[in-house]
Amino acid sequence: MAPRLKVLGIAASPRKGGNSDALLQRALLGAESLGARTEEVYLSDFRITPCTECNHCLTGGSCNVIDDFQPILGKILNADRIIFATPVFFMTVTAQAKLLIDRCQCLWVRRHRLQRPIIGRPGIDRRAAVIAVGGSRGRKMFDSIRWTMETWLDALDMRYTAGLFVNRVDEPGAIQNHREALAHATRLGRHLADPAALASDAPTHTVLE
């Protein structure tokens, strides 16, 4: 019997139970329905300091700043799938998300400058999806989310497979009335956890209003 996939949900909102978090939980339930083991972490529960640009990572590909980044990094590297969920703050990810992403500079160095594997299991099919929720009417606010996540997931050596972006949702709990978004999040989790599902060369982005 094949081992169960490990799906890590990363909630980047400073508010637990918010709209992006609700979609993330639906996606994790979708993954669980296909037998995946899931875990959700809230970045607001961790103390992650900014990257200090000390360049320690240039010599060994590891970060010299010791804080809560290390346990989160362990979860990321141990995951077969990642679902990253964030609200849109000033046209990009939250501060909590950016702290984590910037600290992963050590992984970019490890992979692209030192030419070392990110994990000790080369060739493993690791995939990720992104969920973002914004309050404005425009769709361009998701461009920065997409570009940031593409770059970050490349550093993690994970294939970015799908993005679910929902606009015009701002009030707390409003996403619960968006049946299409909730259903799509469930399908996203199921597809991500389906070992038989083929990953496309480019991520599929869905924008809902």
pLDDT per residue as tens digits for the range 61-79: 899 999 999 999 999 999 9
Task: Report, as an integer, the average pLDDT of 183-195.
Answer: 94
Residue 42 has pLDDT above 80, yes or no: yes
Q: Phi-psi region for residue 115, left (φ > 0), alpha (ψ -120 to 50) or beta? A: left
Whether 92 is covered by a domain: the verdict is yes
Whether 48 is covered by a domain: the verdict is yes
Counting the structural domains of the chain, the total is: 1
pLDDT for residue 206: 87
Question: Where in the sequence is the domain holding 97, given as residue range(s)?
Answer: 6-208
Residue 160 has pLDDT above 80, yes or no: yes
Residue 123 has pLDDT above 70, yes or no: no
Whether 1 is covered by a domain: the verdict is no
Residue 88 has pLDDT above 60, yes or no: yes
> CATH code at 79?
3.40.50.360
Q: Phi-psi region for residue 91, left (φ > 0), alpha (ψ -120 to 50) or beta? A: left
Task: Say whether 45 sits in a helix, a strand or coil.
Answer: helix
Whether 69 is covered by a domain: the verdict is yes
Question: Strand 204-208 to strand 159-166: parallel, antiparallel, or no bridges (unpaired)?
Answer: parallel
Average predicted confidence (pLDDT) for the chain = 92
